[in-house]
Amino acid sequence: PDLYITIGISGAVQHIAGIPGARNVVAINRDAHANILKHARHGVAGDRQLRLPPFPLPPQAQHGRGPLR
């Protein structure tokens, strides 16, 4: 992919092995020493809830009435 965004991924070996085809890796992790940040082109160390706006959910997901699609 052209853009791969990780949020809260520590960077386990299995995960790192799956991302070399991505042109741009953006990682957000609260642990400044997380392995994923060493492999990301752009990395942010911090709490995702403070770094990202809330994602709106479809009404059925907010009320637990079915899977997200």
CB neighbourhood size of 67 (10 A) = 6
CB neighbourhood size of 44 (10 A) = 17
Q: Distance between CA 60 and CA 57 in Å, rounded?
A: 8
Decide: 2 and 23 in contact? Cβ < 8 Å: yes
* pLDDT on residue 37: 92
Q: Distance between CA 24 and CA 42 in Å, rounded?
A: 8
pLDDT in tens, the chain (69 residues): 888 888 888 878 877 887 888 899 999 899 999 999 999 999 989 887 776 777 776 766 555 555 544
